[in-house]
Amino acid sequence: MDGYRDLKVWQLGVEISIAVYRLTDGFPQREIYGLTSQMRRAAVSIASNIAEGHSRAQTKDFIRFLAMSRGSVSELETQLIIATKLGFVQKPDTDRILGMLDEESRMLASLQRSLRSKLRNLG
C-alpha cells in the first residue's frame, strides 16, 4: 500500500473537513465553543485517524483506527442533523455533506473488510 495521501478514503476525509469548516463559518458566534468546535473536531478526526492508522506497523491497528474514523463519521452526521434542526444549516448543504459522509462510511467499511480478509489469508 502506498502512502495514506494516496488513499481515496483519506482524500474524501480531507474534503469533508474543508466542507465542514466552510459550513460552520456561518454558524452563530455563540456556537464557536459548542457545535462549531465539535463538528470541526469530528470532521478533522476522520482523515486524521486514517493517516495515523495507516502509519502504524500493524494491520490490526489500522483496522482499529478505521473504526474510529467511522465513529467520527457517525458523530458528525448526528451533529449536522442537530445543526440543521437548529436552523444553522440549509437542507441542500446538509444533503451534500450527508452524501459525502455516506460515501466515506462505505469506503471505510470496504477498506476494513479488505484488511480483515488480508489478515485471515495470512493466518
- Would you tell me how many other CB atoms lie within 10 Å of the CB of residue 113? 11
| 24-54 pLDDT, tens digit each | 999 999 999 999 999 999 999 999 999 999 9
What is the reported pLDDT for 1?
A: 52
What is the reported pLDDT for 73?
A: 98
What grid cell was written down for 8?
Answer: 481515496
Rg (CA), the chain: 15
Nearest C-alpha neighbor of 18 from the set 37, 44, 52, 50: 44
What is the reported pLDDT for 38?
A: 98
Q: Which domains does the chain have, with CATH numbers?
A: 4-122 (1.20.1440.60)
Q: What is the pLDDT along the chain (123 residues), one digit of tens a residue?
A: 579 999 999 999 999 999 999 999 999 999 999 999 999 999 999 999 999 999 998 999 999 999 999 999 999 999 999 999 999 999 999 999 999 999 999 999 999 999 999 999 986
Asked if residues 115 and 62 have their Cβ atoms less than 8 Å apart, the reply is yes
Rounded Cα gap, residues 46 and 74, in angstroms: 10
Model confidence, pTM: 0.95
